[in-house]
Structure 1
């Protein structure tokens, strides 16, 4: 007979699902609503931690420590920068919220969150299909104007190109590759059923193509490579460990993918291919030469600024005198990794490398302790890597709501390291599952 959770625990899980739903569908909407959502997350997580004695495992504590160290270092260097408050929210406050939430998540909550993600991916994909179809007069526009305004929908032309806006579109940067990869793994006790995953994969791909986001399309194309790297580094079962050479090569491959993504996306072959796909499905010719020129200029400006202070950078929230992307937020640019290097320098890059190494080591350990959850680990890691790739050319991670893709696999790792296999609990034999 299945043990039912207390009413309080079910309520906390419901609040977690509701908060996650908002992050997926409205990630860049009203800032005040995001603050309320984060407050709900903190409240639900704190109650769960206090009642159920949930903890953040030591490997994840190390990840949290270096993540916050990166933020505090950048804030200290840039104490007088105009974007200091904004950067504190992105690099310190948001990670604290997510790490506390990770501490409270158990396997049942993970299953609910992944099911929610799949459902919301279907909703976002179908929304884009219906909206674009209505704007192109292929079908009647059945979405009410009030809903379009609430979700930030917009469809227009800039020169020969199209512009499609929708708050939930950016979610597909992580969720579409995630659910595509999920079709290639066996289902475990956490992943949704195959029909739902297939629907999420198809809706996510369709929405990404119609949305015209080349970074998302690139992540989809790279799914096989991402899967291979994750399989070699993080989810190899059994006692045979991945050699240091393999781990270093795998980490290097991920870094290379992320760093060269802007150049790959700007390549004429990729541009023409992406434009052809968008034009085929939307019926409108796409011209992206302007965005290419803007990113090339940004890369040059940010690199020059970094070379002026290569070791510790100019601090988080720093700006480039006389050059900006936005007059109201001159510290933000599309090329996020160039910005991070400019603002935190070589020291910041080393801290990021340390975080990546700790996550890889933690994922390998989690894979050995809970091989039954390896499919979930692989799929969620794919979401994180895909978001990192997309973030290389579009500033997705400047919005704290988009960070769910980075912290979801960390939640999976924490559960795998902390909670034993329910099958062993039923049989009365518990494996040795240290959290150190």
Structure 2
């Protein structure tokens, strides 16, 4: 089960968010006004690289990163030089820009950051924020390297997201949609679906995950307006098989594909697998040659840190970036499906603007303890406030460790004593994933 041990590989790149922001000369983009014009202004200065690239554009509240990474893996195995742009990163900025799985070098990243800063400062029109500059950087980098396809993950929403400046797409993909960023995207599923459906392009096919009727109706309406052929995944043709941890794969059959192995774990990854398969079929319909052996091998070998990642089998340690009620609900269902009868110890950090009380309620069943930690971000919720709000809802132990290291070590010692009957689940924010992976990398290299 070598893919689990990928946690312990040394990284060759190390450029941090702070270093990138210092090079760009800007502050955090969160909370900035959304709109496409500043990105268009910058891209015009860059020579409009987006006009010379071929894109697969992916939106959704949950699952879009897993879908993006899987499509990149399959296209790369099929012989195409495939770029991928994602956000956020887990440990280092370089993760946001990959070609066939290889991260951008520090040298290229810094050089292009300086270029974006220089061009941005020369603009007389409205200047782009950091995310818009990072998006323009992606298009410049992928054009420089001569990629065949770019798998492009939406940052936030879709309609007004900086990635939506691209004029032509091979395919639009919409994964699971839930209530998120309601102050920006709207407070109903229909409104959020409308924003995410903004990536749908005229006369371009769309793959949509089968989900709540109000979401599908809104996407159908947009597809009809844009004359975009809609493909919705069909669970009726899907079958999954029993999971065994020592094997390490989930197996499924879908439509004409039978008993494929999926390296990404969790029942939500089975939903994502349907999206990936239908997306591949749409690309084939557009004349893109993708051998079926590459589909099978891609699904079997893809890795995606921080998404139901098993850091250790004994004791069982699971790391997941679930950061909204929909993702947590899927995570809990996955644990109940894959590891029935296990009790849990929870290590949890969360952004203050998330619906964390609903998340905690979903996690409460079969849980022995909660440890609350504030992730290193100005948006992170204070653990003492979490404890104060949660202690009237939970009878077990609630801890607020002084450091991430202290909290993880306490939980690790606790689950070790419980002789494989208890698992440690770390979740609540993608922003803590890198720190947790680093802790266990160091812990197990020194023990």
Scaled by the length of structure 1, the TM-score of the pair is 0.29
Scaled by the length of structure 2, the TM-score of the pair is 0.29
Flag the structure with higher helix content: 1
Flag the structure with higher strand content: 2
Say which structure, 1 or 2, has more relative contact order (CA 8 Å, 6+ apart): 1
